[in-house]
Structure 1
Amino acid sequence: MAAEEITERLMADAVTTIEMLNVALGVRLGLYQALAEGPADARALAKATGVHPRYAREWLEQQGVSGMLTVAADDDDPYARAFALPADAGEALLDADSPFFVGTLPGMVASIAEVLPQVAGAFESGGGVPYAAYGTGTRHGIGGLNRPMFRAGVADWVAAMPDIAARLSDGPGKVLDLGCGTGWSAITLAETFPSTSVHGIDLDEASVEEASGNAAGRGLDGRVTFALGDAADPGAGGRYDMVCVFEALHDMADPVAVLRSARDRLAPGGAVLIGDEKVAEHFTVPGDLVERLNYAISVLHCLPATRAEGTAVEAGTVLRPHVVRGYAEEAGYGSCTELPIDHDLWRFYRLDPA
């Protein structure tokens, strides 16, 4: 790539990044939520959200220029110029169950930027940056982006394993969700299979607390439970018809130990379901958009957070299929089968004991 092309690319990337931070600001301050009630000028938006009118005006104008908002009523007085939130933008930013929801993504990007000095320090020391250090933005970013995928996809993912789907449907089924995050995978599994109970384990205390609240809010308290724990030694009693690990295996400090633990907790005839990043089969330069996204997140978040827990494997976000198969073999599984599930971002594997 020529120097001029690099400069042009980074300038364009800078515009995109800074515009995304403006979106993060709008989400954090409830500006989009207020505009979802109807068009507003700077003074009306300021009154509805408690921000200063001058800041409201500048943000509204920036959002209009960037194309996120439309002008509902133009006026020579910039404070009287009204802006509207298009329906599609409202869906993408505010509807947490929409398959197009990205409302938590800008806050996640901002939260990763906030810990950049700690990541730089980890580069120099060889240490890590704890997951909790990334804060609410990353926790809600991951949970919010995954939630609509779980809501829309879990039934089909389990259906790709007909014997397991039958066990969970006929019940009483039991599922262990390792690396459950804020709980939407466990919640969706329980709602999809009403005679199944789900137990979620996660290392992050704040995520476990939110997961419990999310389950209680949907009337699932009791049938869906969560606990703070290490997926490699979850301390979950009994045997499970399915153990699942969704977009978390690459974040685990010792994934082989996690898979071995999952195998040991399977009931006879049970299986492990893994969903992880749909990266290329082999390292290739340059990469496509998904590969670029996963490597960028790996450098700034997944690898530092994993190294903060341990350095047994240090997978990073880019978990290629042959690596998953190697983990499964080392953990004592008889087979690791890639499931025929069409998904833009994840690849799915079924693991069966020997």
Structure 2
Amino acid sequence: MSTDLITEADTSTDHGSAGTGDRTDAERAEELALRLLDQFSGAVELFTVELGRRLGLYPVLAGSGAVTAVELAAAASIAPRYALEWLDQQAAAGIVDVVGHDLSGARLFALPAGHQAVLLDPGSPAYLVGAAPLARAVAASLPAVADAFATGTGVEYADFGHELRFGIAELNRPGFALGISDWVAQLPDVAARLESGGVILDAGCGEGWSSIGLARAFPNARVVAVDLDVDSVRAARDHVARAGLEGRVSVWRANAAEPDLLHELTEEPVTLVTVFQALHDMGEPVRALAGFRALLAAGGAVLVADEHGEDSKAAPADENERRQLAMSVLHCLPATWAESDSVVNGTVLRGHTMTSWAESAGFGRPEVLPVEHPFWRFYRLG
């Protein structure tokens, strides 16, 4: 293991514990116990949503109007008793509505239109079906992560499996479809050039939804998408083909920290490099940024959007940072460590870390862009 291993924890100030007040040990114990119980309830409900996704139950409900358990079972090819138990649970959780009874007295269930946006519509900003498979993948990988903790090693990204790739891709998909034009518009000079052509390098493209969003936003530009994960590249190529964009979007397996290979793939100077929720996972982020800088055409820029956190660590923290740090422990840190042990940042990319990386790569201080996003901070480099 490298002796210069750097973690996100090494470079920020801990302000100590806060928020304990005058509560007794017994009160704090009860509070934590109730919170964990509530989180258990949320987790098992989330997995029932995943069951509905896997079995195709939500599309059946959306297309059938009000149905009984027997009718759902017939339409979805599942056992009626399971259908009844699942529908009763979904109704108790407030995910489906009970809208009446049939002539036999059996309850009628329906999936509300608003909930269809969350569970079935990738074009909706409320679409969140990726949360359940992502949680399932993290849970399944826990034994491998525990072994990595004990041995000081990593867990390969590929070993987290299809559900993790799918979950991350589906969670980010609406933003790429709905917001990417506005994000690039924060670089007006670059956006204007892309209107008439140019090359976009989409680094860490995952399953390709960002690359598709960029191609649709700038129909005269060519998009070169790269990712290190074989299965992500395969999925991205399939999505690009289904979108009818094979002529303008090429997807390659490549390490973002290999500038010579990226130069071969892009074939010409690059107008814009995009790195969406990927820089924090790179094992050699400074080398990658330096390589991007070398690829840029005159006046080109790098757009980084990544998980953000305050430079000072709160304890306890808000909900967003708690979620990010939990994902860092369970996925991002071990996956990055498997790629490289020189820089292992974790999920949260704090401002001082971004500045350090950008300046070490030869950029000036990164510009924070005025993009409203619940989880990401956007930076311009160059």
Shorter chain as denominator, the TM-score bin is: over 0.9
Q: 1:53 is matched with which residue?
A: 80
Of residues 319, 332, 341 in structure 2, which corresponds to 1:311?
A: 341
1:104 matches 2:130: yes
Q: Which one-letter code corresponds to 1:209 in the other structure?
A: R
Query: Structure 1 residues 254-263 or 276-285, which shifts more?
Result: 276-285
Of residues 187, 192, 198 in structure 1, which corresponds to 2:223?
A: 198
Of residues 123, 128, 151 in structure 1, which corresponds to 2:154?
A: 128
- Give the distance between the partners of 1:41 and 1:350, measured in 2 at CA: 54
- Give the distance between the partners of 2:349 and 2:308, measured in 1 at CA: 8
Q: Which one-letter code corresponds to 1:241 in the other structure?
A: T
Q: 1:260 is matched with which residue?
A: 290
Q: Which one-letter code corresponds to 1:185 in the other structure?
A: S
Q: 1:14 is matched with which residue?
A: 40
1:215 matches 2:215: no
- Give the distance between the partners of 1:207 and 1:23, measured in 2 at CA: 24
Unaligned runs of 5+ in 2: 1-19, 21-27
Q: 1:43 is matched with which residue?
A: 70
Q: Which one-letter code corresponds to 1:66 in the other structure?
A: A
Q: Which one-letter code corresponds to 1:64 in the other structure?
A: A
Deviation at 1:298, TM superposition (A): 0.7
Structure 1 runs (4+) deviating above 3 angstroms are: 74-78
Question: Share of identical aligned residues, percent?
Answer: 47
Deviation at 1:344, TM superposition (A): 1.3
1:170 matches 2:196: yes
Query: Structure 1 residues 42-51 or 254-263, which shifts more?
Result: 42-51
Deviation at 1:83, TM superposition (A): 1.0
Q: Secondary structure at the match of 2:123?
A: coil
1:189 matches 2:214: yes
1:157 matches 2:167: no
Of residues 359, 371, 374 in structure 2, which corresponds to 1:341?
A: 371
Deviation digits for residues 194-251 of structure 1, max 9, x if unmatched? 1100000001111111111111111111200100111101512221001110000001
Q: Secondary structure at the match of 1:284?
A: strand
Deviation at 1:39, TM superposition (A): 2.1
Of residues 271, 295, 319 in structure 1, which corresponds to 2:301?
A: 271
Deviation digits for residues 107-158 of structure 1, max 9, x if unmatched? 1111111111111111111111111112121111111111111112111111
Of residues 88, 92, 106 in structure 2, which corresponds to 1:65?
A: 92
Deviation at 1:36, TM superposition (A): 0.6
- Give the distance between the partners of 1:97 and 1:116, measured in 2 at CA: 32
Deviation digits for residues 259-309 of structure 1, max 9, x if unmatched? 111111111111110000132232111111111111011111111111111
1:306/1:74 Cα in 2 relative to 1: closer, same or farther (>3 Å)? same
1:6/1:221 Cα in 2 relative to 1: closer, same or farther (>3 Å)? same
Q: Which one-letter code corresponds to 1:129 in the other structure?
A: V
- Give the distance between the partners of 1:77 and 1:105, measured in 2 at CA: 37
Say if 1:278 and 1:344, in contact at 8 Å, map to a contact too. Answer: no
- Give the distance between the partners of 1:179 and 1:263, measured in 2 at CA: 16
1:82 matches 2:119: no
Deviation at 1:35, TM superposition (A): 0.4
- Give the distance between the partners of 1:77 and 1:233, measured in 2 at CA: 67
- Give the distance between the partners of 1:279 and 1:50, measured in 2 at CA: 46
- Give the distance between the partners of 1:335 and 1:8, measured in 2 at CA: 45
Q: 1:26 is matched with which residue?
A: 52
Q: 1:229 is matched with which residue?
A: 254
Deviation at 1:74, TM superposition (A): 3.3
Unaligned runs of 5+ in 1: none
1:351 matches 2:381: yes
Q: Secondary structure at the match of 1:10?
A: helix
1:287 matches 2:317: yes
More RCO (CA 8 Å, sep 6+)? 2
Deviation at 1:75, TM superposition (A): 6.5
- Give the distance between the partners of 1:98 and 1:119, measured in 2 at CA: 34
Say if 1:93 and 1:103, in contact at 8 Å, map to a contact too. Answer: yes
Residue pairs, 1:317-328, within 5 angstroms: 317-328=347-358
The normalised TM-score by structure 2 is: 0.89
How many matched pairs? 350
